[in-house]
Amino acid sequence: MAALSSRSLSRDHFERFRAFGFLVFRGLFTPEETRDLERQFDRVMESGNRDALGIGRGTDAATAQLRLDLASDSRMQDIAECVLGDECQFMSVNCTAYAADTPWHAASAVVQWASRVLKIAIYLDPLDVHSGCLRVIPGSHRNSQRLLDPRWSLAPDPLFGIRNRDVVWDNPPWGLAPQEVPYMPLETQPGDVLAFPEDLLHCAFESKGPRRQISVNFLELPRTEEQIFDAKLHNAWGGGRLLRPPQDFVDSDDPSLRRMTHGLVALGFEPVAD
Ligand SMILES: O=C(O)CCC(=O)C(=O)O
């Protein structure tokens, strides 16, 4: 196991994340561990289905073992805690098979979480700039211009034109085709791990086939009245299950799983058994 130590995951990682909005960990999973993730992913997908865009997703019940393995993995926990703080809460493990290009998007400039949310993404296929690797715009997670005028969520954001998926590309912002928007490619080999928030502008172009992605998602513990209200709102929008922690984590012998769920339980999110 390529363990992360407190020395390798440092204040620098946190500052780098704050500045650019993503972290890349090379070879965090060994080839053997990666093969195991692949086997679990493929099994989960057998239970799932495809949406209208051809994107395949596994069901919660089929994901239970993988969810337990990854949420209790100290590497995942270290990354989440480095970015979101020691009391961050577990949200979900998702298996997704992307079938085609993904357009530029980020958490909508209109609707955002009041607490920070982190996605740790593990792509199981080698991906480069010509086969659909993730492209990001470093620093775009901060959307700092929006804060200049807190009264209006549509206050100046120079990247607003590509923050929502519903961009009309007949009239592209800056006169650039989506593929021409300046980006940084996050090319990955199996075993590599990416961490980024949905707020970071990202996309994938030139895909050549399905991209298998496992994501492990965490939420900063909501503390303020606004954050708690907002978390409840998102949970309702997400069908009432988004922030309900898995019962097996809440009752677990593993203190780290209890710690990553008890904050949500204390806020009234009832545990759920698959
Ligand atoms: O790989 C892709 O197509 C895009 C992934 C993505 O949008 C995400 O993980 O949030």
Neighbours of 58 (CB within 10 A): 24
Which strand (E) or helix (H) includes residue 237? helix 225-237
Measured CA to CA, the distance from residue 78 to residue 14 in angstroms comes to: 11
**Residue 230 corresponds to which amino acid?**
D
Q: What is the CATH number of domain 11-225?
A: 2.60.120.620
Looking from the CA of residue 98, the nearest atom of ligand 1 is 3
Percent of the chain with pLDDT over 90: 65
Domain boundaries, the chain: 11-225
CA of 203 to the centre of ligand 1 (A): 6
Q: Is the CB of 217 under 6 A from ligand 1?
A: no
End-to-end alpha-carbon separation of the chain, Å? 29
- Mind listing the pLDDT tens digit for each residue in 226-271? 999 999 999 998 888 999 999 999 999 999 999 999 999 999 999 9
Q: Is the CB of 76 under 6 A from ligand 1?
A: no
User: pLDDT value at position 85?
Assistant: 92
Q: Is the CB of 218 under 6 A from ligand 1?
A: no
Does pTM top 0.75 for this prediction?
Answer: yes
Measured CA to CA, the distance from residue 128 to residue 137 in angstroms comes to: 16
The residue among 93, 113, 105, 102 whose CA lies nearest residue 37 is 93
Pairing status of strand 56-57 against strand 49-50:
antiparallel
Q: Which two tokens stand for residue 196?
A: 């980024």
Sheet holding 202-204, edge to edge: 102-105, 202-204, 134-136, 184-186
- Mind listing the pLDDT tens digit for each residue in 45-100? 888 777 766 677 878 788 999 999 999 999 999 999 999 999 999 999 999 999 89
